[in-house]
């Protein structure tokens, strides 16, 4: 029997609610397969800061270091509550970015996917959804503006000023591009390269490296699109995209737009992959506006479990079953509040009920 250790970081806001449902699925996977999961819960985020003074305490680092994979719920506080924590200790700068840096999880895969049967979830017209949206955003996750040098202070004219730098070296760019090309090779063999080379030198270098890397993948068609135009096209013609690759900040913004065109950020799982370690998290945040109400959509968190099964534990078939179980719940006409507005024809269920239905479906599926 295979044994895997999984660090479980439930996080803040809706984090514990959606993590609970994801853990139910993990337990069922264990029952159905010759595998055992040692689940290791740990504090991470604002909850860790308030308990220990550190959003990513040493004990959590030790647990994550020893884990085969990490399942992470969203972290963070509302805009107002964040002010109670010094900026460098806030969960984003004090936990999330240090986690990405610690494990060098440079490749972030964010599926933006909606089958045509669920077109009614989307704010886009059915004719725009066509045969369905099926995009994977490949976001560089440990470089760019997020990790460049930063300065804040008062300049010689007595004015408060700020300086943040956007830095990449060619190796960082090359490694994420290889990931994107490889993924495109397993899919439709088209890669949309999202850039801003008309202004940013970082994009000029990015595109230069891309041309070098592309030589190794002659079967892949590359389509270059400026990031601002890509934002429009995601709304007007999302079905033209399959794999999209981009730097860190562009990926942050366009992936949330991805959630928008699907109808909810609750449909956005993700995988953050490094050479030695991977962690899995929803793309969205801690949703303080709906926390504690048992209404959050756990799809993003259960989908992150599916990505973990496939990428970290070589259980692609069970991963497919998890996706199918969630699609089955939707097909039966149920979803959480975000996707069951009055008049939508979708029956509203709670976070817990969604998790229970996924477990029920999955338990009936042949392995
Ligand atoms: P958010 O993603 O938390 O919420 C945006 C909107 O989407 C809200 O209306 C929310 O209710 C809704 N939403 C998000 N997830 C949902 C789900 N699973 N089901 C149903 N609805 C859902 O963004 P925000 O409000 O801008 O940020 C809140 C906090 O989260 C901030 O502190 C931010 O820094 C943090 N954050 C953390 C992560 C992370 O941990 N990876 C990601 C993004 C934001
Ligand atoms: C995300 C989040 C993070 C990011 C924040 C919370 C630091 O928005 O994972 O998309 O900007 O990367
Ligand atoms: Mn984001």
Does the beta carbon of 75 lie inside 6 Å of ligand 1?
yes
Question: What tokens were used for 11?
Answer: 């996080």
pLDDT means over runs of 10, the chain (367 residues)? 98 98 98 98 98 98 98 98 96 98 98 98 98 99 98 98 98 98 98 98 98 98 98 98 98 98 98 98 98 98 99 98 98 98 95 98 95
The fold for domain 1-103+276-367 equals Isopropylmalate Dehydrogenase (3.40.718)
Does the beta carbon of 338 lie inside 6 Å of ligand 1?
yes
Pocket test for ligand 1, best of 13, 49, 76 (most atoms within 8 A of CB): 76
> What pLDDT score does 244 carry?
99
Ligand 2 centre and the CA of 252: distance in Å? 6
- Ligand number nearest CA of 108 is 2
| pTM for this predicted structure | 0.98
Does the beta carbon of 99 lie inside 6 Å of ligand 1?
no
Ligand 3 centre and the CA of 47: distance in Å? 20
Index of the ligand 1 atom closest to the CA of residue 282 = 41
Domain ranges of the chain: 1-103+276-367, 115-264
Index of the ligand 1 atom closest to the CA of residue 259 = 7
Pocket test for ligand 2, best of 108, 252, 255 (most atoms within 8 A of CB): 252
Closest residue (by CA) to atom 42 of ligand 1?
285
Ligand 3 centre and the CA of 363: distance in Å? 33
Ligand 3 centre and the CA of 249: distance in Å? 9
Does the beta carbon of 288 lie inside 6 Å of ligand 1?
yes
Ligand 1 centre and the CA of 13: distance in Å? 9
**Domain 115-264 class?**
alpha beta
- Ligand number nearest CA of 141 is 2
Please identify every residue annotated as catalytic.
Answer: 146, 196, 228, 252, 256
Ligand 3 centre and the CA of 158: distance in Å? 34
Closest residue (by CA) to atom 44 of ligand 1?
285
Closest residue (by CA) to atom 6 of ligand 2?
92
- Ligand number nearest CA of 268 is 1
Q: Distance (Å, rounded) from C-alpha 300 to C-alpha 304?
A: 6
Residue 6 in contact with residue 311, Cβ under 8 Å? no
Same fold, 1-103+276-367 and 115-264: yes
Does the beta carbon of 108 lie inside 6 Å of ligand 2?
no
Does the beta carbon of 270 lie inside 6 Å of ligand 2?
no
Residue 33 in contact with residue 318, Cβ under 8 Å? yes
> What pLDDT score does 367 carry?
85
Question: What tokens were used for 209?
Answer: 């490296």
Q: Distance (Å, rounded) from C-alpha 28 to C-alpha 61?
A: 27
Index of the ligand 1 atom closest to the CA of residue 290 = 11
CB proximity list for 159: less than 8 A, separation 6 or greater = none
């Amino acid at each position: 029997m295979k044994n895997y250790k999984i660090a479980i970081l439930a996080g803040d806001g809706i984090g514990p609610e959606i993590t609970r449902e994801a853990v139910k699925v993990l337990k069922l996977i264990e029952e159905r397969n010759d595998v055992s999961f040692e689940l290791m819960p740990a504090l991470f985020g604002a909850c860790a800061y308030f308990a220990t003074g550190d959003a990513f305490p040493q004990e959590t680092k030790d647990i994550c270091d020893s884990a085969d994979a990490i399942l992470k719920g969203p972290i963070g506080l509302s805009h107002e509550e964040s002010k109670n924590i010094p900026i460098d200790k806030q969960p984003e700068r004090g936990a999330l970015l240090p986690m990405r840096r610690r494990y060098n999880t440079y490749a972030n895969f964010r599926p933006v996917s909606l089958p045509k049967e669920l077109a009614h979830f989307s704010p886009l017209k059915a004719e725009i959804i066509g045969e369905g949206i099926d995009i994977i955003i490949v976001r560089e996750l440990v470089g760019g503006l997020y990790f460049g040098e930063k300065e804040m202070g008062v300049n010689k004219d007595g004015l408060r000023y700020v300086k943040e730098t956007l830095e990449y070296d060619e190796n960082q760019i090359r490694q994420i591009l290889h990931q994107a090309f490889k993924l495109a090779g397993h899919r439709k063999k088209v890669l949309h390269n999202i850039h801003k080379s008309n202004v940013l030198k970082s994009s000029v270098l990015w595109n230069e490296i891309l041309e070098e890397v592309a030589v190794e993948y002659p079967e892949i068609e590359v389509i270059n699109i400026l990031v601002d135009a890509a934002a429009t096209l995601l709304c007007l013609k999302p079905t033209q995209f399959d794999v999209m690759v981009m730097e860190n900040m562009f990926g942050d913004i366009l992936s949330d737009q991805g959630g928008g065109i699907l109808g909810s950020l609750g449909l956005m799982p993700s995988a953050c992959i490094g050479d030695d370690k991977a962690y899995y998290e929803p793309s969205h945040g801690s949703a303080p506006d709906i926390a504690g109400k048992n209404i959050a959509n756990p799809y993003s968190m259960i989908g992150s479990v599916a990505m973990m099964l496939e990428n970290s534990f070589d259980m692609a078939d069970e991963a497919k079953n998890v996706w199918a179980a969630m699609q089955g719940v939707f097909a039966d006409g149920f979803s959480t509040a975000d996707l069951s507005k009055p008049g939508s024809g979708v029956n509203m269920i709670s976070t817990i009920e969604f998790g229970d239905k996924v477990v029920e479906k999955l338990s009936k599926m042949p392995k």
